[in-house]
Amino acid sequence: MARRDAALPSESGRRPAHVYLVGAGSGDVELLTLKAARLLQEADAVVYDRLVGEEVLALIPAGRERYDVGKARGHHSVPQAEIGALLVRLAGEGKSVVRLKGGDPGVFGRMGEELAVLAEAGVGAEIVPGITAASAACAAMGIPLTDRAHAQQLRLVTAQLCRGDGEPDWSTLARRDETLIIYMGLAKIDAICRGLRRGGLPDDWPVMLVANASLPEQASLVGTLTDMPAKLAAEPLPSPCLVVVGSVVSMGAASPARRNGRGDLAPLS
């Protein structure tokens, strides 16, 4: 099998400007792709988000440039425009740059904005996918994303559509034949549950919240559209947290075991 050679230096002695947009996966270093791990070893500079696991960051060799541009809900430590400018500058200096994003860079990771900035500056880019939170959370809880008897389709949405007048069309999201995954939905769980019930899902429709999927501190809540807000109030979960809506959730509840944050089988409590 042929292997692509690394980019050769230009006549000026610098390598062609290039940025790798790399998915760091859900946080568990063992779920990182081989390609992502190799690029981290080879990078001159790594620009990373707050959702990147510490064990993943530990793969970066000592002495390499690191830039923490992490964003948290309600607080953007580095504006998106500055992140784009940083990537362009580092690549222009002839450095191999890894833009490391939690999960998959193409799933609610603002990758499109950074690709546009790089393209405008004439900087080459390559996308390296990672395991997104939807896959990691459901795998960790021992349930499938799709199933012939439960969900024939899968939909990934962001709860940011719930802001202000941007409320989604709940009737289109309230389907019994699919698994609905809502990213960044923890603070909007009341609106989500009410909206899906108004859209046509029954009061007892299964809902699962998973925080820190695949990590040792993983935590989860299982309930229904009716009782989930009260359950979350009684047992708060940290962010990041994924909302899983669909009858596949009941498959996990019926299983003899679930997987813990490291992917090992553990008895149900």
Of 28, 49, 101, 104, catalytic: 49
Verify whether residue 264 is a known catalytic residue. no
Of 35, 71, 147, 231, catalytic: 71
Distance CA 61, CA 46 (A): 10
Q: Which helix (H) or strand (E) holds 199?
A: helix 189-199
Distance (Å) of CA 73 to CA 194, 238, 239, 246: 22, 12, 9, 26
Distance (Å) of CA 243 to CA 67, 136, 183, 215: 30, 13, 7, 17
Strands (E), the chain: 18-23, 45-48, 65-68, 71-72, 75-76, 96-101, 124-128, 153-158, 178-183, 206-211, 219-224, 241-245, 257-259, 265-267
Verify whether residue 71 is a known catalytic residue. yes
The torsion defined by the Cα of 158, 160, 161 and 164, in degrees rounded to 10, comes to: 170
Phi, psi (degrees; rounded to nearest 5) at 69: -120, 30
Question: Residues with catalytic annotation?
Answer: 49, 71
